[in-house]
Structure 1
């Protein structure tokens, strides 16, 4: 029906044009952000799931960093123990040298002084080696140490060790005489075995943490893939929607223009 007061066709065209522009705006927003879900109104349940997954991914990534920090800490301690190893080997060499009876008292004193210096160096390394102020080489209580956390209820505790000369059993060792040197030789051999046991324990812990980082990386990748499937836009599908909405918007503009001419046609009948 032709009408002058109310233009129903223009109202319809305007409504559909608004819908087309709204859909076009949504497609542009999704393609610009790369996300299918930009606000709760896009997909309320999907948004909730996505945010939970993002939180899980953040925890997994931080857990990986924690495990890597733990590996760095153990590498620092293990490196210090390698220096202690060199000192103990030198002490054993000196003890073997002093165990023979072909050296003078003065020569033995020189060997004794070096032996004691090596012992003091072991104590210095044990007391001074730290990682972020955490010390693991002078712990008389084997239960003390550092806990590496990498998720809810997930952690690995790295126990401290004591590699000071007193704990290794060489604190009172001396090579000032051939007899004492023979006793010191046995004591240093035992000390090396104790140190090797502690060093091996750190090696086991590094292997555990490296395995942990691999598992965490896989979990992170899978979680990110799941989050992407929920949240990310399907570019091909959205480009098709964008093209469709552009055509509809252009058609809507054209039809609205045509509809706005209808009252003029009605007026022409009154002339």
Structure 2
């Protein structure tokens, strides 16, 4: 028996410290509910879980962004629905004004209502907002710019609209020679428009990168002050011209300007929502005048075209909403699955950990008892000295 060095106590102390450390770690896992409470517990697992958690949080924000996009579409569609109703009323009035039993005085009364309805369309288009941003005034329509043949911009000549399948880049429109009027008609309705000989219209061409564009049955048409070039493939470009002009036009289409919504957690996971500009000019109703029988008959066709235009825009918005609803559903499923995977990495199995805790608790208590016994052993030497 030795007195100077109590090896038994040292062995008991080492075991007690080891068991006490394991007991503390088990308590930490049980109290936090985490399998990986510190980086040392599982370095690679911690790195993976942090990336997954970042993805989950990002998907949550993307889900909210997608729902905001749905709300924007619903606000725009609600206003367009009311504009549809206004156009239906205008169509009824146009049909009524076309009836030969009415006098021009009766038609003036009808035109008074039509004038107010036209003003209401403009008001709704300019005042419909979401989060303080106007959404039907062209703010989120595709942008394009026009310069004359000298390379100068002209506020009276601008891009009205163009189709989605128009390519980005620079275009050259040749052969233009149009006259322009802007006056108050005999019935008191403001009227404006451009005019061009039929033979001149046939000579108008559009080029891109030096090659003729829209080669599939291109059609050039004029509605009020808007010149439209289109072909059988669905390509369409409309230029608003509010002055007499002869010469070429340079057109730059950016194919940008739509509202970009972040619908994913990573860069580039976006959806562009294009909301066409709504105005009397884009609808072809600026010159609508039902104060005489001829104008009323022409108005029926103009209003039907406007109804078709609004219907096309609402169809696009409906497609956006359907897509966004599927996007939200997909995000919900992704978050659910990623959360389950994150939980498997990070969350502790409480039942299993309680088993470990109970074991370590018994070992710690036993180690404490044995430490006390080992510390008593050197005192037994005193019995030999008696």
Common topology (TM > 0.5) = yes
Which residue of 2 is the match for residue 177 of structure 1? 292
Q: How does 1:97-108 map to 2 (within 5 A)?
A: 97-108=96-107
> Counterpart of 1:166?
281
SS in 2 for 1:100: coil
CA deviation digits over 1:74-132, x for unaligned, max 9?
Answer: 11111111111111111111111111133344432221111111111111111111212
2:267 is the counterpart of 1:267: no
Aligned 8 A contact 1:4 1:267 in 2:
no
Deviations 1:27-49 (A, max 9, x none): 11111111011111111111111
Offset of 1:22 from its aligned partner? Answer: 1.0
Residue 268 of structure 1: CA displacement? Answer: 2.0
Tell me the residue number matched to 1:37.
36
Whichever structure has more helix as a proportion of its residues is: 1
**Matched residues, number:** 270
Matched ranges for 1:13-162 at <5 A: 13-139=12-138, 140-141=160-161, 143=255, 144-149=257-262, 150=264, 151-162=266-277
Give the distance between the partners of 1:161 and 1:153, measured in 2 at CA: 24
* Structure 1 unmatched ranges of 5 or more: none
CA distance in 2, matches of 1:172, 1:135: 25
Report 1 or 2 for greater relative contact order, CA contacts < 8 Å, sequence distance ≥ 6.
1
For the 8 Å contact 1:136–1:145, the answer to whether it is kept is: no
RMSD: 1.4
Structure 2 gap ranges (5+): 139-159, 163-254
* Corresponding position of 1:204: 319
Aligned-pair distance for 1:171? Answer: 1.1
TM-score (norm 2): 0.67
Q: 1:231 aligns to what?
A: 346
Whose strand proportion is higher, 1 or 2?
Answer: 2
Q: Does 1:220 align with 2:339?
A: no
Task: Give the CA deviation at 1:152.
Answer: 2.5
